[in-house]
Amino acid sequence: MLAAMYDPQIDSRRQNILNQAANLFGQKGYSATSMKDIAEAIGIQTPSLYNHLQSKQEILQVLLLFIARLFHEGILQIYQRPASHTEKLQQVVKMHIRIATDHQQIAPLLLQEWKQLEEPAYSEFADLRRKYHNLFKTILEEGIAAGEFKALNADITLNLILSALKWIYGAADYYTSHAIKPEDIESCFAELVFNGLLKQ
Amino acid sequence: MLAAMYDPQIDSRRQNILNQAANLFGQKGYSATSMKDIAEAIGIQTPSLYNHLQSKQEILQVLLLFIARLFHEGILQIYQRPASHTEKLQQVVKMHIRIATDHQQIAPLLLQEWKQLEEPAYSEFADLRRKYHNLFKTILEEGIAAGEFKALNADITLNLILSALKWIYGAADYYTSHAIKPEDIESCFAELVFNGLLKQ
DNA sequence: CCTACCGATCGGTAGG
DNA sequence: CCTACCGATCGGTAGG
């Protein structure tokens, strides 16, 4: 498996630091994780970290902007494809699960840790997030207008679906221990969202 | 509106501290919130806090065990009532929205901040959480066995529904600014989960 | 409820 | 990549 490239710099030690930091930020939270924690996870002294990065905050920014751009590019591509709105929604869900699975260390940071971003990274992240929500909402609204979807409140529906998808961010441990495959989540999610839980 | 009573002590200053702390913990996170932050929100000096509580950790424990017990008692009562499984699921969703709305300051702590609990509070919280999940899952499984629900994977379905409900925890600002009422969420959620998004 | 103060730890720098 | 070290801030205590 190729190591994830969060930024263009070719520095495997830096990549290692970013990965370990992502794990710790996801488990304990950004504020509760010290640079000493990260250094110990790597096996070096704390000051040595600063040969590979400028600050603790830089780590958070690189990780979150990397994954936020992935999500944004993904939904933009799907939105522009010629397909029914039902198919588009299905593809967005699939993309969501794929990115969260491919980047299990970073995905949990999307839950709360983005709040710890400082400017200008905070605004850049918020902008990507807003664009993602808007495109997702547009797919729902166009699906309603086209008569494919029920005329439910688009804001609430959007947020309920996004919130359900967030389960995948932090549940990597859970569904490996329960032998759940990404395809299982995808098919269960699709059946639930499209046709509902009731039998008849 | 009556002030929430998190514990039996009649000390309105203490209640005020707990409320302000809950707000800050929810916004910035437990670790990123200092006792100085809390004291300033109240308008007193930091050491004065310790006349009303023993430690920062005690605040987190009181808040989280209070709301965890509410959820547990709520689902236990619903589970024991004579009703169809569909009605029970609907009532659980309703209870969920009601508790999260009544305790908007505390609900966001259920997302991530419980990880910062120390023993023995951590285990007590985890136990209530586990019992809640088990009862919820049993309602789903009994509904499947009774032929009311489709035979979807109960674990995945449980987690997708719980994750969707978590939207309400942190979205108090959002849905007041969008003029969304709790009943709107409840009806949208019920339609989506029971019958799905597709029109036909 | 305050002032004065404690040891521990924080992110980060200097210099080699 | 290390050792030595910095000022700032942390949660919390003493004492009144």
pLDDT in tens, B54-64: 999 999 999 99
| Mean pLDDT, residues B153-171 | 95
CA of B116 to C1' of C7 (A): 23
The token duo for B18 is 């707990």
In the block, residue with structure tokens 């839950």: A111
Query: What are A25's two structure tokens?
Result: 């930020």
pLDDT digits (tens, 9 = 90+) for A53-66: 999 999 999 999 99
Per-residue pLDDT at A1: 40
Contacts B189 to A, Cβ<8 Å: 156, 160
User: How far apart, in whole angstroms, are the C-alpha atoms of residue B44 and residue A154?
Assistant: 45
pLDDT digits (tens, 9 = 90+) for B46-55: 999 999 999 9
Residue B32 at interface with chain A, using a CB cutoff of 8 Å: yes
Retrieve residue A130's tokens: 């807003």
Q: How far is A94 from chain B (nearest CA, A)?
A: 15
When the pLDDT of each residue in chain A is averaged and rounded to a whole number, the result is 95
Does residue B52 lie within 7 Å of nucleic acid chain D, judged by its CB? Answer: no
Contacts (Cβ under 8 Å, ≥6 apart) of A23: A41, A105
pTM of the entire predicted model:
0.94
Which residue in the set A163, A184, A194 is minimally distant from B196, CB to CB? A194
pLDDT at site B49? 98
Nearest CA in chain B to A167: B163
Interface test with B, best of A27, A161, A163 (most B CBs within 10 A): A163
Task: Identify which of B155, B164, B184 has the shortest CB distance to residue A163.
Answer: B164
Query: Is A178's pLDDT higher than 80?
Result: yes
Q: Name the percent of chain A lying above pLDDT 70.
A: 97
Q: How far is CA B122 from CA A113, B64, B65, B119, in A?
A: 21, 10, 9, 5
Residue B184 at interface with chain A, using a CB cutoff of 8 Å: yes
pLDDT band for position A2 (50/70/90)? very low
pLDDT tens-digit map of A11-55: 799 999 999 999 999 999 999 999 999 999 999 999 999 999 999
CA distance B67 to chain A (A): 20
Alpha-carbon distance A125 to A66, whole Å? Answer: 10
pLDDT of A5 reads 75
Smallest CA–CA separation between B71 and chain A, in Å? 19
What pLDDT is recorded for position B9?
63
H-helix or E-strand containing A200? none
The string over A123-137, giving b where at least 16 C-beta atoms fall within 10 Å of a residue's C-beta and e elsewhere, is ebbeebbeebeebbb
* B191–chain A Cβ distance below 8 A for any pair: yes
Q: What is the pLDDT of residues A85-135, one digit of tens each?
A: 999 999 999 999 999 999 999 999 999 999 999 999 999 999 999 999 999
- Helix spans in chain B (H): 12-28, 35-42, 56-80, 85-102, 121-145, 154-165, 167-170, 172-177, 182-195
**Cβ–Cβ contact B150 with A under 8 A:** yes
Q: Is the pLDDT of residue A162 over 90?
A: yes
Q: Any CB–CB contact under 8 A between B84 and chain A? A: no
Cα A92 to chain centroid distance, Å, stands at: 12
